[in-house]
């Protein structure tokens, strides 16, 4: 999220907006926004409705739930539901016609789309 914050001025200059979507409750989402000094919108996707529409939702297996609990991570508290579901991390560039221009999804949450790829596709749209 911080890497995308760094390219926000360029995204805005290209006439685009940057929006993050999180399964966290609005209060937890706001805390993430403040903690990471983000200047773009972070919206709450309660119940993973948006992520589900993109086919990105998976249910955590029991052993992962137990690990989270042992580490003091109360996912139902963060996400304000009891589903123990999370979305895969995805990045999408959506055009003004509401069509997906670029998409990137990886099952490993450490892997994210490089910010430059977003700028490249936005720049190509304005070239």
Domain spans of the chain, in order of start: 2-120
Answer yes or no: are the C-beta atoms of 47 and 85 closer than 8 Å. Answer: no
Q: What confidence tens digit (pLDDT) does each residue in 14-35 have?
A: 999 999 999 999 888 888 778 8
pLDDT computed for residue 125 by the predictor: 67
Give me the percent of the chain exceeding a pLDDT of 90.
71
Which runs of E-coded beta strand occur in 5-126?
19-22, 41-44, 57-59, 85-87, 89-94, 100-106
Q: What confidence tens digit (pLDDT) does each residue in 57-87 have?
A: 999 999 999 999 999 999 999 899 999 999 9
Start-to-end CA distance of the chain, whole Å, equals 27
- What are the two backbone dihedrals, phi and then psi, of residue 99, each rounded to the nearest 5 degrees? -95, 145
Average the pLDDT over each of 2-11, 25-34, 38-47, 113-122 and give the range with the smallest value: 25-34
Q: Nearest-5° angle of CA 109, CA 112, CA 117?
A: 170
Fold of the domain spanning 2-120: Glutaredoxin (3.40.30)
pTM: 0.81
> How many residues does this entry show for the chain?
127
């Amino acid at each position: 999220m911080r890497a995308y914050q760094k390219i926000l001025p360029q995204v805005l200059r290209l006439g685009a907006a940057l929006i993050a979507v999180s399964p966290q409750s609005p209060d937890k989402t706001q805390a993430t926004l403040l903690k990471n000094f983000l200047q773009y919108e972070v919206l709450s996707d309660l119940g993973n409705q948006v992520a589900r529409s993109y086919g990105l939702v998976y249910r955590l297996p029991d052993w992962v739930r137990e690990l989270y609990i042992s580490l003091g991570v109360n996912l139902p508290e963060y996400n304000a539901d009891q589903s123990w579901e999370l979305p895969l991390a995805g990045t999408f560039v959506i055009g003004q016609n509401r069509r997906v221009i670029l998409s990137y999804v990886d099952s490993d949450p450490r892997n994210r789309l490089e910010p430059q790829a977003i700028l490249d596709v936005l720049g190509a749209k304005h070239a």
